[in-house]
């Protein structure tokens, strides 16, 4: 009898509060699997009252459309796998008219970074940064940095990124790269970074003279925030430049790939070589693509960021003909890396020719088309600097965690 009684007690349903507490401690990938356990658990996970306590995973990608498209400002969103996440205002309609013309610069753990300018006045006031949360409708306008934002001036401050990790702190950081042009080669080089902290409400200016002489850091590509550092690529010598939120110094780590180029190669935009920095499943990733010359995309992973020496190792090579078919009429392929999935072994590509978004499973080595997006802004190879990323992965944040002394 005792055995039977124990068995019956073991299968009694758990209290709702305990189920929610258990689910709230799971990572995003495990939480998705739990939706298949029962209808009750699926209801718990989908309940808006509980959503803020659960880990979220990739819900979609923001991307830029050419000027003239509707909605009024050129921005699109594609939900993964189908529609936008529940309760998220992807149109950012909660922002006031004073935000005017908006340029979406970055996305980090549920928050978005925008460059805004109210063009209703003449002359127009200088642009300003806004950080917002599309899932809660919160937003904050930041004070002006020391170097006012400007495109292709000297200094140039068009490249900025967002740093936010809610698992570590409710505070966020904004990184603005300061680049100067040297007219003998018409190239921009990173000479400093300005970092805004929502904890202090102030910008801090940090030059890079403790790393190299400034003309050695040429930024051209994506930036990503991971493990307390902003990371971006230096195209001249296959290096990754990293600066922490405390502005204590700069770091450089070299990728073991023979990708160094000369000025003459850099000034010839037809070579098609590029590098990408991103992160996935708790690891920092570097992607090297030798354009039309190679069939392979080489993906490197940072072995141990906590060690004194940062070591990159080859994670995987992806065969481009398997993704995009044989070379095109011009001798190559026309695509860009859209994003890496933060919780799965997946990488998203956009095919410019077919105007399709596709996903490649790096574990099973198969690819399938997600949807046709139509026209997406295409930034041609530019000798000066790369303004922002074309696709921004979005993971919703349902907790009201946007804090700053300068809240508008």
Count other Cβ atoms within 10 Å, centred on residue 209.
11
What are the DSSP calls for 188-251, one per residue?
A: EEEEEEEEEETTTTEEEEEESTTTS-GGG--EEEEEEEETTEEEEEETTTTEEEEEETT---EE
| Pick from 252-261, 336-345, 349-358, 379-388: least confident | 379-388
Using CA of residue 124, residue 126, residue 130, residue 134, what is the dihedral sign? positive
* Local confidence band at 257 (pLDDT 50, 70, 90 cut-offs): low
Question: For residue 399, what pLDDT is reported?
Answer: 81
Bridge partners of 174, per DSSP, are 162, 196
Task: Find which of 55-59, 142-146, 397-401 is predicted with most confidence, using mean pLDDT.
Answer: 142-146
* Domain ranges within the chain, ordered by starting residue: 14-54, 59-259+269-322+380-394
For the stretch 189-213, pLDDT in tens is 788 889 999 999 999 988 876 555 4
Average pLDDT, the chain: 77
Question: For residue 196, what pLDDT is reported?
Answer: 95
- In residues, how long is the chain? 408
Nearest to 204 by CA among 154, 172, 247, 236: 247
Q: What does the alpha-carbon distance between residue 290 and residue 197 come to, in Å, rounded to a whole number?
A: 37
Count other Cβ atoms within 10 Å, centred on residue 361.
14
Question: For residue 332, what pLDDT is reported?
Answer: 67
CA distances from 359 to 272, 349, 368, 370 (A): 22, 6, 6, 7
Q: What does the alpha-carbon distance between residue 111 and residue 166 come to, in Å, rounded to a whole number?
A: 10
Question: For residue 25, what pLDDT is reported?
Answer: 63
Nearest to 269 by CA among 158, 381, 159: 381
- State the pTM of this model: 0.81
For the stretch 131-161, pLDDT in tens is 999 999 999 999 998 866 554 455 777 789 9
Contact 136, 112 (CB under 8 A): no
Count other Cβ atoms within 10 Å, centred on residue 110.
22
Summarize the confidence of residues 347-362 as an average pLDDT: 90
């Amino acid at each position: 009898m005792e055995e039977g009684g124990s068995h019956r007690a073991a299968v009694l349903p758990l209290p709702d509060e305990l189920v929610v507490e258990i689910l709230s401690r799971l990572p995003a990938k495990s939480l998705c699997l739990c939706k298949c356990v029962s209808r009750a658990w699926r209801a718990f996970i989908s309940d808006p009252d509980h959503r803020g306590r659960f880990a979220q995973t990739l819900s979609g990608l923001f991307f830029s459309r050419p000027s003239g498209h509707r909605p009024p400002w050129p921005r699109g969103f594609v939900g993964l796998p189908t529609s936008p996440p529940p309760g998220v205002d992807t149109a950012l309609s909660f922002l006031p008219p004073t935000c005017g013309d908006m340029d979406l610069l970055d996305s980090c753990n549920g928050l978005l970074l925008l460059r805004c300018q109210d063009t209703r006045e003449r002359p127009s006031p200088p642009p300003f940064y806004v950080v917002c949360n599309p899932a809660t409708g919160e937003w904050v306008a930041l004070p002006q940095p020391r170097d006012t934002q400007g495109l292709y001036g000297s200094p140039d401050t068009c490249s900025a990124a967002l740093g936010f990790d809610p698992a570590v702190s409710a505070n966020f950081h904004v990184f603005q790269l300061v680049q100067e042009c040297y007219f003998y080669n018409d190239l921009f080089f990173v000479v400093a970074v300005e970092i805004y902290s929502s904890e202090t409400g102030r910008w801090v200016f940090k030059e890079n003279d403790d790393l190299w002489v400034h003309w050695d850091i040429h930024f051209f590509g994506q930036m990503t925030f991971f493990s307390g550092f902003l990371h971006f690529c230096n195209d001249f010598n296959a290096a990754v430049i990293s600066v922490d939120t405390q502005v204590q110094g700069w770091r450089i780590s070299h990728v073991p790939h023979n990708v160094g180029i000369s000025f003459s190669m850099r000034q010839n935009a037809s070579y098609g070589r590029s590098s990408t920095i991103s992160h996935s499943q708790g690891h920092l990733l570097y992607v090297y693509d030798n354009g039309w010359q190679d069939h392979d995309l080489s993906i490197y992973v940072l072995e141990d960021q906590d060690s004194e020496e940062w070591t990159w190792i080859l994670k995987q090579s992806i065969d481009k003909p398997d993704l995009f078919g044989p070379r095109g009429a011009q001798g190559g392929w026309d695509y860009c890396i859209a994003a890496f999935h933060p919780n799965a072994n997946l990488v998203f590509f956009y095919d410019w020719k077919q105007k399709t978004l596709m996903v490649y499973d790096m574990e099973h080595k198969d690819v399938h088309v997600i949807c046709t997006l139509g026209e997406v802004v295409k930034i041609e190879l530019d000798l000066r600097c790369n303004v922002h990323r074309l696709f921004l992965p979005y993971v919703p944040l349902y907790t009201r965690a946007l804090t700053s002394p300068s809240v508008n």
